[in-house]
Amino acid sequence: MEKPSKGTGLYFLIFAIVMLGLLYFGNSYFTQGESISNQEFVSILDSDDIHSITVSQNKEVPTGVVVVTLKNGQYKKINVSDVNETEKLLKEKFPSYKVEDVKRDSVFLQYLLPVIVMGVILFLIFSIMGNQGGGANAKMMNFGKSLAKLSTEDNKIRFDDVAGLKEEKEDLMEIVDFLKNPAKYIEVGARIPKGVILVGPPGTGKTLIAKAVAGEANVPFFSASGSEFVEMFVGVGASRVRDLFEEAKKNAPCIVFIDEIDAVGRKRGSGMGGGHDEREQTLNQLLIEMDGFGVNEGIIVLAATNRVDILDPAILRPGRFDRKVMVGTPDVEGRRQILKVHSKNKPLADDVDLDEVARTTAGFTGADLENLMNESAISAAKENRKFINANDVKESFLKVGVGTEKKSKIVSDKEKRITAYHEAGHAILFHVLEDMDPVYTVSIIPTGMGAAGYTMPLPESDEMFNTKGKMKHEIMVSLGGRIAESIVFDDITTGASSDIKKATSTAKKMITRYGMSDEVGVICYDDDEEVFIGRDFGHTRSYSENVAAKIDSEIKAIIDECYKEAEKIIIEHRDVLDRVAELLIEKEKIGREEFEACFGNISQNESM
Ligand code: ADP
Ligand code: MG
Ligand code: ZN
């Protein structure tokens, strides 16, 4: 497949500018200075302001240009129809004039160049308009061609090459199976998803697993990156998308992989300083293409992003990317397996303990681990050793882990302990409080987005209303992390700031929006739906200082009450807290069963 260079359009533009420049300077010979009339010329000749005079003439024609340089530095110029006449006059009035022979413009400069320049300009204009309208013109533009890379023969990646990511592979297995045996699904009328979006921090293996899907199913793999679609010319992105899908349809069944989909899929109209037309067009085209091919046509679009929150909701609608697969940073076990994969062809000395390496690399992604093993191999090779020893790994660990931006990724044992107790605190309250959903996972793996860990509930009920009791329970859960920290350690950390913010905002809503405080009354003091950070600046409150003070004291009262109740529960479950925290320190991520087992024979959901 031909692969046009990325900046083709740019080269055209530069070419046009250079040509225009040539044209301009080519003629400017004659155009310097202010044009004057014949009378003015004569009167200047009679004055003694003249510094010098140059007569420019082309020998083949009688016409010429006389340029007069005045003593004050100004230029005056006059076009004359007969240079001989002028020379006669000058010999009389200003005999020290100079004659300059100007070569006639070459045919190229005079006739061909303007034609070429016009051609280029017209070509550009047409191509831009053609693409905008989505017309057939787009096809002749090779810079509208898709940059998608096609790989079939060289794609030998299988699920076995993707270590860990067990659940992710299970989710994608269905797609592999469909690509292999479409008839089976079509017969029973099943609708296979058209699009699956892989969400996770960079380096966690999204691209790798997408390739593995194609490899397992043995179908072509087309890949393109969202950022490639956002080019400088409006419409190029859209035309590339069109092209990519055209190619895919010819090769179905196949996988189309769009990396960095957030580059095109950002919420529309949310760009800085107005919308980004180009991006929106590309996104629209992508949605059109996805709606365009039928269900079970054999094209499955996989996309990757690390920011699902900024995506346009239209992308996630049914029939488009309606499946989401979270690709997380690996836990200890995952890291151990990834290390195994990446040390397959690397002989290790006896003193290298991959289990230990796995334990000490919390927060490392698959890419980091691959890098770690590679650096270790390089360090061994430098010393002409045929195997990697523990020292190589240690040194590379410092290199990879302490590399500028990855600094935050190294989690000390102390931090790990604190995070474990913090999350255990949240989790216990989730479990004990009746109104809250059961815990699905608890993790102390850094998310790569600023959080040290997370506790995720399994939403069981889809309730329409929030009750006062439930909102209080939510506040208690939010405070749980901080409470556990303060019970177990003498000190408290800054790690709970977002929890505190959440608790405060829930309490505030209870009072100012839902009228749940007797003190303040059933009055809505806050009718804005969205709460933007910093919106309060210059936002005039519609209530008095007096009411504001009351609201603040009520917020504090609710939070204090919740804190006390939550603290009581955690103290009562101190043994569970220790067990959960220990388990988290060991495994980093635990599921519902493991978590609930920590409660032992203490009956669950016993009341507060
Ligand atoms: P992403 O697309 O999520 O940014 P990649 O798939 O490009 O990450 O991963 C980069 C590299 O890291 C891969 O080529 C591979 O060598 C390594 N890697 C990442 N995750 C894994 C994994 N689960 N198993 C094996 N190798 C992995
Ligand atoms: Mg990638
Ligand atoms: Zn927390």
Instruction: Please tell me if the CB atom of residue 304 comes closer than 6 angstroms to any atom of ligand 1.
Output: yes
Per-residue pLDDT reduced to its tens digit, 567-602: 999 999 999 999 999 999 998 889 889 999 999 854
Instruction: Please tell me if the CB atom of residue 352 comes closer than 6 angstroms to any atom of ligand 1.
Output: no
Return the higher-pLDDT residue of 147 and 427. Answer: 427
pLDDT of residue 273: 45
CA of 576 to the centre of ligand 2 (A): 40
Query: Within 13 Å and on the Cβ side, how many CA atoms surround 63?
Result: 6
Per-residue pLDDT reduced to its tens digit, 283-318: 888 888 888 777 667 889 999 998 888 888 888 888
Among 22-26, 137-141, 408-412, 443-447, name the most confident range.
443-447
Task: Please tell me the distance from the alpha carbon of residue 222 to that of residue 65, in angstroms, as a whole number.
Answer: 64
Per-residue pLDDT reduced to its tens digit, 462-480: 556 778 888 999 999 999 9
Residue identified by tokens 């420049």 is 21
Strands 439-443, 454-457: pairing is antiparallel
pLDDT over 90 percentage in the chain: 24
pLDDT of residue 604: 47
Beta sheet of 589-591, edge-to-edge order: 454-457, 439-443, 589-591
Residue nearest to atom 17 of ligand 1 (CA): 367
Which ligand is closest to the CA of 226, given by its number?
A: 2
CA of 328 to the centre of ligand 2 (A): 13
Q: Is 252 helix (H, G, I), strand (E, B) or coil?
A: coil
Mutate to test the pocket of ligand 1, among 206, 227, 370 (most ligand atoms within 8 A of CB): 370
Pick from 408, 415, 422, 307: nearest CA to 364: 408
pLDDT of residue 430: 92
Catalytic residue among 423, 485, 554, 588: 423
Amino acid occupying residue 215: G
Instruction: Please tell me if the CB atom of residue 338 comes closer than 6 angstroms to any atom of ligand 1.
Output: yes
CA of 205 to the centre of ligand 2 (A): 7
Nearest atom in ligand 1 to the alpha carbon of residue 164 is 23
C-alpha separations of 97 from 78, 80, 94, 215, 271 in Å = 15, 15, 6, 83, 63
- Exposed, middle or buried, 325 (CB in 10 Å: 0-12/13-18/19+)? buried
Span 424-448, mean pLDDT?
86
Pick from 513, 362, 381: nearest CA to 447: 362
Amino acid occupying residue 178: F
Residue 324, pLDDT > 70, answer yes
Instruction: Please tell me if the CB atom of residue 255 comes closer than 6 angstroms to any atom of ligand 1.
Output: no
Is it true that the peptide bond before 446 is cis, omega within 30 degrees of 0? Answer: no
pLDDT of residue 100: 79
Span 414-437, mean pLDDT?
91
Q: Indicate the pLDDT class of residue 4, thresholds 50, 70 and 90.
A: very low
Residues in the chain: 608
Task: Please tell me the distance from the alpha carbon of residue 420 to that of residue 584, in angstroms, as a whole number.
Answer: 6
Report the mean per-residue pLDDT for the chain: 79
Residue 537, pLDDT > 60, answer no
pLDDT of residue 295: 66
Q: Is 423 in the active site? A: yes
Among 93-102, 319-328, 373-382, 412-421, name the most confident range.
373-382
- Exposed, middle or buried, 547 (CB in 10 Å: 0-12/13-18/19+)? middle
Mutate to test the pocket of ligand 1, among 155, 162, 166, 204 (most ligand atoms within 8 A of CB): 204
Instruction: Please tell me if the CB atom of residue 341 comes closer than 6 angstroms to any atom of ligand 1.
Output: yes
CA of 497 to the centre of ligand 3 (A): 8
Residue 75, pLDDT > 80, answer yes
Residue 126, pLDDT > 60, answer yes
Instruction: Please tell me if the CB atom of residue 373 comes closer than 6 angstroms to any atom of ligand 1.
Output: no
- Angle among Cα 360, 364, 370 to the nearest 5 degrees reads 105
Return the higher-pLDDT residue of 388 and 109. Answer: 388
Instruction: Please tell me if the CB atom of residue 202 comes closer than 6 angstroms to any atom of ligand 1.
Output: yes
Residue 438, pLDDT > 90, answer no
Q: Indicate the pLDDT class of residue 145, thresholds 50, 70 and 90.
A: low
Return the higher-pLDDT residue of 587 and 494. Answer: 587
pLDDT of residue 134: 43
pLDDT of residue 124: 79
Of 401-405, 447-451, 463-467, 539-543, minimum mean pLDDT range: 401-405
Residue nearest to atom 6 of ligand 1 (CA): 205
Residue 140, pLDDT > 70, answer no
Return the higher-pLDDT residue of 243 and 580. Answer: 580
Per-residue pLDDT reduced to its tens digit, 7-21: 556 666 777 676 666
Phi-psi region of 534 (alpha: psi -120 to 50; beta: other; left: phi over 0): left
Q: Indicate the pLDDT class of residue 374, thresholds 50, 70 and 90.
A: very high
Long-range contacts of 527-532 (CB under 8 A, 24+ apart): 531/505
CA of 454 to the centre of ligand 3 (A): 7
Q: Indicate the pLDDT class of residue 407, thresholds 50, 70 and 90.
A: very low
Residue 88, pLDDT > 60, answer yes
pLDDT of residue 597: 93
Instruction: For residue 213, count other CB atoms closer than 10 A to its CB.
Output: 26
Please enumerate in sequence order all residues whose Cβ is within 8 A of that of 146, keeping only pairs 6 or more positions apart, or say none.
224, 240, 241, 243, 244, 247
